[in-house]
Amino acid sequence: MTSGRKGWHGWLRRGRYSWWIGWLLGASLAAAQAPDTIFLEPRAVFVEARALAVDPGGRLYVADAARHVVVRLTPEGHVEDELGGPGSEPGRFDMPVAIDAQAGLSLWVAEEGGRRLQRLTWQGMPLEIIPLPERMRPIAVQQRGRWLFVLDAASGQLWRRGPDKRWLVTGGAAAGDPLQQPVALTSGPSDRLLIADRAQRVVLAYDRLGTFEKQWTPVLPRAPRALAAQGDTLWLVIDRSLYRYLPGGHLEAVGHLPFDVVGLVWQGQRGWLLSQRRLYRIQLSAPGRK
């Protein structure tokens, strides 16, 4: 009988240890697989924000179309200056809707009302004005060396302007590639252009001259709204949720967003989201990860 009790207690101890080991392993696995918690820190307020850009130094730029200004902010997201103001003179804007600040010392601003591109110093001094093709509705602009690229929401096309100062369609039905309804543009790995297509729910890749290469992502769960590259990781706003697309081809949900997004940028380890009314800094907490 005594030996039976010892045998029973031995089994119970072994079972208890097995249970604890299983629980610990399960808890560790659950923590490793737990989704990130997303915290949004509100910063500046706008009337009708339409675009967000970041320069190599971390300064942020927001196009406020209703006020016809580009707001420059510090790397911490605090308002530093306002560029432009309503008007058609050089250095002033008529509905600014897209910005490219990658050059650092200068930036490109696309105007929907004025149907033109302006290049300005980061302090707002006008340097160059380029008319846009007739009936174009710009939603993104990017400079690559001697080439300028503009996404046109009206025609669903990618346009390129080269050293010969001529506009040429390089993406969309007219160029014989699958682009249909572009909504956002960002720089990708190996100097690519990555374009989010709302109609097809995919991201398409183009080379540095604007020639279509391939479909970059699988079909997304819902329509994309914004995208930004962080090294080989692609951040996406899909409907009202933030996702990241990892180099191995894995799409990972990060968190739900309580507003519609009009802009997304990533600088180093810091991300920023823009709604029509407000700028937010993204903070992520990843349970079980160090």
Residue 15 lies in a domain: no
**Distance (Å, whole) CA 163 – CA 148:** 9
pLDDT at 286 (0 to 100): 61
Residue 1 lies in a domain: no
pLDDT at 37 (0 to 100): 82
Number of H helices, E strands in the chain: 1, 24
Q: Which residue has the tokens 């031995």?
A: 10
pLDDT at 218 (0 to 100): 96
* pLDDT tens sequence across 30-57: 333 445 788 999 999 999 999 999 999 9
Instruction: Give yes or no for a contact between 86 and 96, defined as CB atoms under 8 angstroms apart.
Output: no
Instruction: Give yes or no for a contact between 275 and 49, defined as CB atoms under 8 angstroms apart.
Output: yes
Residue 249 lies in a domain: yes
Range of the domain at 64: 37-285
pLDDT at 267 (0 to 100): 87
Tell me the C-alpha to C-alpha distance, in Å, between residue 20 and each of 17, 25, 128, 257. Answer: 5, 8, 69, 37
**Distance (Å, whole) CA 250 – CA 273:** 22
Q: Is the pLDDT of residue 270 over 90?
A: no
Residue 28 lies in a domain: no
Residue 9 lies in a domain: no
Confidence (pTM) = 0.86
**Distance (Å, whole) CA 223 – CA 238:** 6
- Give me the phi and psi of 8, to 5 degrees please: -65, -45
pLDDT at 156 (0 to 100): 97
Q: Is the pLDDT of residue 1 over 60?
A: no
Q: Report, as an integer, the average pLDDT of 224-250.
A: 96
Q: How many domains does the structure of the chain reveal?
A: 1
Of residues 36, 47, 35, 37, the one with CA closest to residue 274: 47
Q: Going by C-beta distance under 8 Å and a sequence separation of 6 or more, which residues neighbour residue 256? A: 38, 240, 241
Residue 24 lies in a domain: no
* pLDDT tens sequence across 57-82: 999 999 999 999 999 999 999 999 99
Q: Is the pLDDT of residue 290 over 50?
A: no
* pLDDT tens sequence across 146-176: 999 999 999 999 999 999 999 999 999 888 9
Residue 290 lies in a domain: no
CATH number of the domain enclosing 275: 2.120.10.30
Instruction: Give yes or no for a contact between 61 and 52, defined as CB atoms under 8 angstroms apart.
Output: yes
Tell me, rounded to whole angstroms, the distance of Cα 259 from its chain centroid: 15
Residue 266 lies in a domain: yes
